[in-house]
Amino acid sequence: MITRGNRADGPRRRQASERGYLMCPPEYFAVTYAINPWMEPEKPTDAAKAMRQWARLRQLYLELGHDVRTIEPAAGLPDMVFAANGATVIGGKVLGARFCYPQRVREAEAYMDWFWASGYTEVRTPEHVNEGEGDILLAGSTLLAGYGFRSDQAVADELADLFGLPVVSLRLVDPRFYHLDTALCVLDADTVVYYPAAFDDAGRAALAEQFTELIEAKDEDAEVLGLNAVSDGLHVVLPVQASGLAAQLSERGFEPVGVDMSELLKSGGGPKCCTLELR
For this structure, is 24 an active site residue?
A: no
Does some domain include residue 3? no
Closest CA to 190 of 170, 165, 160, 215: 215
DSSP string, 52-121: HHHHHHHHHHHHTT-EEEE----TT-TTTT-GGGGEEEETTEEEE-B-SSGGGHHHHHHHHHHHHHTT--
Q: Quick check: is 211 in a domain?
A: yes
User: Max Cα separation, the chain?
Assistant: 48
CB-based contact 245:223 (threshold 8 Å): no
Inside any domain, residue 14: no
263 touches 45 (CB < 8 A): yes
Out of 24, 179, 185, 274, pick the active-site residue: 179
Amino acid letter, residue 60: L
Rounded Cα distance, 200 and 173, in Å: 6
Note if 128 is an active site residue: no
- What's the confidence (pLDDT) of residue 11? 55
Sheet holding 184-188, edge to edge: 184-188, 191-194, 213-216
Is residue 156, in this structure, part of any structural domain at all? yes
Structural domain of 90:
20-277
Per-residue pLDDT tens digits of the chain, which is 279 residues long: 343 433 444 456 899 999 999 999 999 999 999 999 999 999 999 999 999 999 999 999 999 999 999 999 999 999 999 999 999 999 999 999 999 999 999 999 999 999 999 999 999 999 999 999 999 999 999 999 999 999 999 999 999 999 999 999 999 999 999 999 999 999 999 999 999 999 999 999 999 999 999 999 999 999 999 999 999 999 999 999 999 999 999 999 999 999 999 999 999 999 999 999 999
**Overall number of domains in the chain:** 1
What pTM did the predictor assign?
Answer: 0.95
The enclosing domain of 251 has a CATH number of 3.75.10.10
The DSSP 8-state label assigned to residue 4 in this structure reads B
Say how far apart CA 277 and CA 26 lie, in whole Å: 18
Residues 6+ apart with CB under 8 A from 170: 144, 145, 146, 147, 180, 184, 199, 203, 206, 207
Predicted confidence at residue 10, as pLDDT, reads 45
The answer to whether residue 84 is domain-embedded is yes
Q: Would 107 be classed as within a structural domain?
A: yes
- Indicate whether 9 belongs to any domain: no
Query: Is 5 part of any domain?
Result: no
Cα three-residue angle 182-177-19, rounded to 5 degrees = 15
